[in-house]
């Protein structure tokens, strides 16, 4: 092999490795897969993102995650989800009331993005932030990151 041919081969090898490394390192933002469901776990509760055929997303989290001791009775969830098709970002605001009441005792904000890593299963990576309004002390407020995978 000539010196010139070895140089061309070395440059081609470096280009292939650099391209493969860049493709593996960065997730690609995608929109939600229409007609699918994503599921993950937040504070031992299953969070579900159901994507309708028109692209709207409904987020379900049975209880507001509390970052303190204690518990509550049955709750009713009220969700408002707003996906942004241009940025593939989702913001969902969930308020919680006791069953039979209209007084909101907790609010949860879910924010994140829909991603795919190459040919892997699409995921939603986000954060959940809880704010409790009933006790006024904010001792149960908190937030955490989570990942929900397409089922």
Number of Cβ within a 10 Å radius of residue 86: 7
Q: For residue 20, is it within any domain? A: no
Q: For residue 133, is it within any domain? A: yes
Domain count within the chain? 1
Q: For residue 51, is it within any domain? A: yes
pLDDT tens, 44-82?
999 999 999 988 899 999 999 998 876 667 788 888 877
Q: From residue 74, give the alpha-carbon distance in Å to each of 3, 57, 64, 96, 128.
A: 76, 24, 11, 10, 21
CA 63, CA 46: separation in Å to the nearest integer? 9
Q: For residue 2, is it within any domain? A: no
pLDDT tens, 5-58?
454 454 555 544 545 544 554 667 677 888 999 999 999 999 999 999 988 899
Contact 125, 145 (CB under 8 A): yes
CA 119, CA 36: separation in Å to the nearest integer? 17
Q: For residue 113, is it within any domain? A: yes
| Residue span of the structural domain in which 118 resides | 27-150
> What CATH number does residue 100 fall under?
2.40.128
Burial of 64 (0-12, 13-18, 19+ CB in 10 A): buried
């Amino acid at each position: 092999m000539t010196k010139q041919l070895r140089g061309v081969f070395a440059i081609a090898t470096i280009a292939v490795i650099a391209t493969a490394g860049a493709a593996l390192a960065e997730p690609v933002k995608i929109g939600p897969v229409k007609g699918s469901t994503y599921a993950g776990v937040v504070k031992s509760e299953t969070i579900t993102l159901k994507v309708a055929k028109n692209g709207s997303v409904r987020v379900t989290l049975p209880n507001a995650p509390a970052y303190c001791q204690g518990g509550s009775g049955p709750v009713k969830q009220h969700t408002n989800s707003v996906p942004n098709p241009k940025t593939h970002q989702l913001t969902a605001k969930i308020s919680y009331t006791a069953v039979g009441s209209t007084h909101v005792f907790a609010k949860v904000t879910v924010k994140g993005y829909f991603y795919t890593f190459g040919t892997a299963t699409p995921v939603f990576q986000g954060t959940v932030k809880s704010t409790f309004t009933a006790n006024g002390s904010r001792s149960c407020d908190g937030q955490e990151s989570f990942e929900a995978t397409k089922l």
